[in-house]
Structure 1
Amino acid sequence: MEKNVGGYDRIGRFVIGAILVVVGVAGYAGAIPVAVGPAPQALTAIVLAVIGAVLLITGYTQQCVINRVLGVNTNKRGSR
């Protein structure tokens, strides 16, 4: 799979991913309320942490399936 994540996209994934993981863990521990509507606190916290982890992984590997499906390539040094 060719790399298709780079530049500001990669930086944003690292920053937002890290924030979501921290918020998810803190929410699961009960330190901050993250429940939305009828969704339980623990479920919402786990979902936030998983989304954050996915963003961190895609930023690290520089490969994103959604970018590939949409035909987006933000990696300037990617193989052509």
Structure 2
Amino acid sequence: MKKNVGGIDKIVRIVIGAILIGMAITGMIGAWGWIGVVPLATGLLNTCPAYRLLGISTCKEQK
């Protein structure tokens, strides 16, 4: 898969995903917190299907 998530975007996705999952585990926000798996996975894999559909890339161009 082509990388389209980079830099600050990647860090933000991982942090938000981890926070949401942590809140779900502790019962602070209920089952909806498990939606944090999506930003966590896209941050770790450096690819976002929604970005691909919209033609967006926050990753620096590789030469």
| TM-score bracket relative to the smaller structure | 0.7 to 0.9
Paired letter, 1:2:
K
Q: Please give the per-residue CA displacement for 1:5-60, whole angstroms capped at 9, x wherever unaligned.
A: 00110000011011000011111xxxx3x3xxxxxxxxxx22211x2111111101
Quickly say closer, same or farther: Cα 1:72–1:20, change in 2 above 3 A. Answer: same
Q: TM (normalized to structure 1)?
A: 0.70
Contact kept, 8 Å, 1:2 with 1:78, in 2: the verdict is no
In the alignment, structure 2 segments of 5+ residues that lack a partner are none
Distance 1:78 1:46, change over 3 A: farther
The higher radius of gyration belongs to 1
CA distance change for structure 1 residues 16 and 78 in 2, over 3 Å: closer, same or farther? farther
CA 1:78 to 1:4, structure 2 compared with 1: closer, same or farther past 3 Å? farther
Root-mean-square deviation (CA), in Å? 1.6
**Matched-pair identity in %:** 44
